[in-house]
Structure 1
Amino acid sequence: MQLNLASSIEPFVQKYLRIPVFYVVPDPNWALGLEEILPWYAVVCADDSPTVDYLQGKGIPVFCVQRDLPELFFDFKRSSSSLLRLPEVQDFIRETSRGEQPRIMVFKTSPALEKAAEDLGYHLLAVDSRLNRRFEDKISILSELEILGQGAIPSLIGRVSDLSYAHLNKSLGDRFVIQFSRGFAGNSTVFIASEDEFREFARHHQERRIKCSKLIRGQSLTIDACVASGGTLFSHYFYQIIGEQEYNRFAGGTSGNDYAYDFRFSPAVDEHIRSLVTAMGEYMKKQGYRGIFGLDMIVDNETEQVYIIEDNARLVASIPVFTRLQTLDSEVPMALIHLLEHLRIPYELGAEAYNEQLWHRRQASQLILRNTEEDDIFFSSCPQSGIYSRGGAFKRSGCSLQEAAAADEFVLLASSPGRSIGSNIEYAQVQRPCGIIGSDRTMSTETRALVQRVKDMFQRKAAVL
């Protein structure tokens, strides 16, 4: 069946997707986007938030550990595999599935998650965890890019004790970037600007294996892409907010995206980006990959060379917002295509026409607020999620940019009180129907003031031990 226009989505899903799909994820905000598309959709999450009420108000069944099993919540490991192992969750899935095989959608797979799904007879909608690790590992991706023959930043790999600053300085320059193989929200990236800094780093990590890369001075961007049966699908690139330590405690950490930012790249750079994404997608497809992935890239200011920083071989944090933006623009959501690929449901979609349809900037942005302290924090009071005026006044309920039509409004997705927020863990999202990064690549003063008003709405007390 042809699937080229948003008008064709409803008859398609009614015919082929009347099956139970469960998004199993710690944070319910990650499950947003598909609730108004899939006819048989349910969510299993760990954290309570107003998003749970929003989903239930849409008729979506939700099992929330913090709400439904409060006695277990504070000792509960926040992972999808742990969620699936709970007997109460299994009962919820069985009752909601009504005899059909449950299909399990996850943000990121793991061996433990695969084992849980296999033991329980669930159909896991994700690539093999070994394939995910192969591409997402920040060290091994260098080998993949070298095989691809393009996109690799000049780098050296080795154990810290075997690397000298003099050699790294000679090979990579005065400043370089160190990455461990795995990390989250920037905690595996370290910037080195002197021998003293490297010596201090080495003192703590002698036996660790690392990748040291040349520091590229340029504009960082990210692209949502999908390995599909008809080719590699991809969005227009958008600005990746990095280094805002007011919102992420790590210098290399990301804090959201600006979909409206105008990079003003030349047509040659545009074409280089498109060809590199396509080449990476086709290479991943040959290795057995299918579905959504995200590429973080950087364009050198001087040479206009395009490099791949990371390949996030999984669903990515921008997908919930991007799905809503695609719906607003009457596009077939990439998240839906991701599901079709993992369900092996045949469909017709012209990749070239689809990519042209998506190749435009969008008037939207998302800023993620994280706990920037080393210790946990505990909120005794949190603001209500919903639509707010620019001045910080609550206007009405809502969880998406579809419901914040005015330029002077924003969406706030806030955590609920009563849980401990770990170091660098997200506690709120601010979404705006406009850009927030200026041409000088700095966040506007008006946006900073708005976000400060949001942060002031959270009342905290000493961390729970």
Structure 2
Amino acid sequence: MPRATPSGPEAPEATVGTDAAFAPTVPAETALHTVRNISEVRHFFRTNDVPVFFIGATPFNLLGLDRWVRNFTYISYYDAWDGAHARVFTPVNKPYKEFGSGEEINNWLLLNPEVRSRMTKDLRPGVRPKVAMVFFDAETEHICEELGYDLILPPAELRSRLDSKIVTTQLGNEAGVPSVPNVLTTGTDWTTLRKVADESGLGKELVVQTPYGDSGKTTFFIANEADWDKYSSEIIGEQIKVMRRINNLPVAVEAVLTRSGTLVGPFLTELAGHSDLTPYQGGWCGNEMHPDVLTATQRTRATDLVQRMGDRLSKEGYRGFFEVDVLVDTDTDEVYLGELNPRISGASAITNVTAGAYADVPLFLFHLLEYMDVEFDLDIDEINARWEALSGADVWSQMIIKETSETVELLTATPATGQYQLDSNGALVFSRPAMDWHMLQNESEAFFLRIYGPGDYRWKGADLGILVTKGRLQVERNGSTQLSIRAKHFIDSVRAGFTGLPLSATEPVEATAGIGVKTQW
């Protein structure tokens, strides 16, 4: 997979409603006073004159939103296009620094002088830039307040509380949203765990979760004392949710809580724990969207579940984007609340290329609308009904490709960001530079977003890049979900494009563990 030579921004491609960056400005004082329908939503964002920034290690989550929103820019730590994407800004001066979280990355970017200069360039008097991101904290809020930016997200304190799996379960109970049969308790010892599980009728095989954690890293499957001994150090002293272990289909759905109601996006299945993609057992590594994710009955139940959660979140003062993990019991057909992610999520990338998005606008634009200086009164029920009717029109998949080996290497060559296709010999070859995946047409094409480039390090668990394609990447075989032959071919082809120099065997791995940024979704 040869790396493309940067040659400047790709010429804009004309698609329905996706040329907002080239639309004329309508000053705020002459904009619509109250937005009442999708046509006016499109017009508002197509002529937007307020700068909106998405900040993060990569622009992956909201890549392509600049097609709909004028003055939308990505501030990114990694530049996957080497300067060729006109709407991606990456500071040139990036001295070595170890980051421990996504919040640290975003705060560093906000404080960077090059970024601050870019965000205030040509800013009209009285206008405050709007800032969105996946990860933020109280420090982020203080920085934005001092610099005069509007952080268009719910308060960090509220988001942190809602992020707890324990709080999610409690709020779901209050909203009449069922979880998998469970009991909430404190981790102490094996005997006590077994006792509370038996009293609640949870069975012999248990699933134990601690309040916080991502990608399955704080979910433990415990069937006997040996399992308890293996995980007890991470459970003892923690509040825990103890669940009956069920045969389940995990489904992700994003939604937006607005003043007009809760808008529910498409339902996606998850790629999780595939050893070709991630070294973490049960770890999230992608999504699929297809017509058969849920039956009509399951979809109705799941939509009601999400809307009930939205109603309950509104009582907490929450506004905007959130993601819900839904669990379908494949033995009983029951639909349960899994987890709540009060933020933009990894599923956002596919959510924004649905038929509903192209017929109307991407889901995230309703989040922006909630935080922009505009009044609106929309018929959310009508939009939800129309999007549900279009739910069978899309088949998309994405894979997060992590380093799965024990290697620690300095990368010397990496695949280029852009569009790829399977040639006549079945090889995956670079087709052309591309800004995002919105122009993919069929299953023989894929878009690869590089994260780490030459000069960066890779190690076990590091995110190498994201591949997006039309069509499914999983198959059902022998009662389990496995990666398809096509998916494994894509993965092998991408990995073949990464080459590097191993670190000296005498150099401690600990000294390199923080080099680069561990991207979080």
Q: State the TM-score, normalizing by the size of structure 1.
A: 0.90
Structure-1 residue corresponding to 2:266: 236
Cα distance change on mapping 1:191 and 1:395 into 2, 3 Å: same
Q: Which residue of 2 aligns with 1:121?
A: 148
Amino acid at match of 1:30: N
Find the aligned partners of 2:186 and 2:460 in 1 and give their Cα distance. 27
Q: Which residue of 1 aligns with 2:45?
A: 13
1:145 equivalent among 169, 172, 192: 172
What residue ranges of structure 1 are gaps of 5+ in the alignment?
Answer: none
Change (3 A) 1:461 1:183: farther
Please report how far the alpha carbon of residue 417 of structure 1 lies from its aligned counterpart in structure 2 after TM superposition: 2.3
Residues 340, 245 of structure 1: alpha-carbon distance in 2 compared, 3 angstrom cutoff: same
Match of 1:436 among 473, 477, 481: 473
In 1: Cα distance, 2:406 partner to 2:171 partner: 34
SS at match of 1:95: coil
**How far apart, in 2, do the equivalents of 1:327 and 1:378 lie?**
42
Separation (CA, whole Å) in 2 of partners of 1:150 and 1:272: 10
Report the secondary structure of 2:488's partner residue.
helix
- The verdict on how the C-alpha distance between 1:346 and 1:204 changes in structure 2, with shifts beyond 3 A counting, is closer
Residue 421 of structure 1: how far off its partner (Å)? 4.1
- Name the counterpart of 2:194: 166
Task: Tell me what 1:225 maps to.
Answer: 255
Cα deviation 1:376-419 (Å, max 9, x = unaligned): 55432110111111321111111433222133111111122222
Equivalent of 1:286, from 291, 315, 318?
315
Q: Which runs of 5+ in 2 are unaligned?
A: 1-33, 504-510, 513-521
CA distance in 2, matches of 1:181, 1:253: 16
Change (3 A) 1:10 1:297: closer
Alignment of 1:267-278 (within 5 A): 267-278=296-307
How far apart are 1:169 and its partner, in Å? 5.2
1:167 deviates by 2.1
Q: Note if 1:28 corresponds to 2:59.
A: yes
Matches within 5 A, 1:46-195: 46-50=77-81, 53-56=83-86, 60=87, 62-65=88-91, 68-70=92-94, 72-75=95-98, 78-99=104-125, 100-162=127-189, 164=191, 165-167=193-195, 170=198, 171=200, 172-195=202-225
**Residue in 1 that maps onto 2:336:** 307
Q: How has the CA–CA distance of structure 1 residues 312 and 233 changed in structure 2, closer, same or farther, with 3 Å as cutoff?
A: same
**Relative to structure 1, is the Cα distance of residues 370 and 96 closer, same or farther in structure 2, using a 3 angstrom cutoff?**
farther
CA contact (8 A) 1:35 1:55 kept: no
Alignment CA distance shift 1:29-1:377 (3 Å): farther
In the alignment of these two chains, the number of paired residues is 454
Native 8 Å contact 1:261 1:438 kept in 2: no
Q: Report if the CA contact (8 A) 1:376-1:420 is conserved.
A: yes
Matched letter for residue 419 of structure 2? I
Distance in 2, matches of 1:366 and 1:10, equals 27
Structure 1 CA distance for aligned equivalents of residues 490 and 417 of structure 2: 15
Deviations 1:167-193 (A, max 9, x none): 255343222222222223222222223
How is 1:449-464 mapped onto 2 (pairs within 5 angstroms)?
449-462=489-502
Shift of 1:240: 1.4
Structure-1 separation of matches of 2:407 and 2:216: 17
- Give 2:448's aligned residue: 412
Residues 247-396 of structure 1: matches in 2 within 5 Å?
247-260=277-290, 262-263=292-293, 265=295, 267-326=296-355, 329-359=358-388, 360-361=391-392, 362-373=394-405, 378-390=410-422, 391-396=427-432
When residues 190 and 76 of structure 1 are mapped into structure 2, their CA distance, relative to the original with a 3 A threshold, is closer
Which residue identity is paired with 2:204? D
- 1:374 Cα deviation after fit: 6.4
SS at match of 1:53: coil
- Structure 2 CA distance for partners of 1:92 and 1:291, relative to 1, 3 Å: same
Cα distance in structure 1, aligned partners of 2:64 and 2:406: 32
**Amino acid in the other structure paired with 2:279:** R
Structure 1 residue 212: Cα displacement: 2.3
Local SS of the residue matching 1:411: strand
TM-score by length of 2: 0.81
CA distance in 1, matches of 2:309, 2:407: 39
> What is the alpha-carbon distance in structure 1 between the residues aligned to residue 469 and residue 326 of structure 2?
24
Q: Deviations over 1:91-144 (max 9, x none)?
A: 222225354312111113311211211222211100011221222212221211
Q: Relative to structure 1, is the Cα distance of residues 197 and 322 closer, same or farther in structure 2, using a 3 angstrom cutoff?
A: same
Pick which of 27-36 and 420-429 moved more. 420-429
What letter is aligned with 2:442?
A
2:246 maps to 1:199: no
Letter in structure 2 aligned against 1:396: R
Q: Distance in 1 between matches of 2:259 and 2:406?
A: 44
1:34–1:263 distance in 2 versus 1, CA, 3 Å: closer
In structure 1, C-alpha distance between the alignment counterparts of 2:184 and 2:293, rounded to whole Å: 32
CA distance in 2: counterparts of 1:333 and 1:39, whole angstroms: 14
1:401 is paired with a residue whose SS is: coil
SS of the aligned residue for 2:208 comes to strand
Task: State the secondary structure of the residue aligned to 1:438.
Answer: strand
Q: 1:319 to 1:196 in 2, by over 3 A?
A: same
Contact 1:399-1:412 at 8 Å conserved across structures: no
Farther off after superposition, 318-327 or 411-420: 318-327
Shift of 1:462: 2.7
Distance 1:226 1:245, change over 3 A: same
1:328 shift after superposition:
6.4
Distance 1:460 1:188, change over 3 A: farther
**In 2: Cα distance, 1:231 partner to 1:13 partner:** 20
**1:415-449 CA distances to partner (integer Å, 9 max, x unpaired)?**
22222346534221111111222355332122212
Instruction: Verify the 8 A CA contact 1:83 1:89 in the aligned structure 2.
Output: yes
Contact 2:61 2:344 (8 Å CA) reproduced: no
Partners of 1:133 and 1:204 lie apart in 2 by: 20
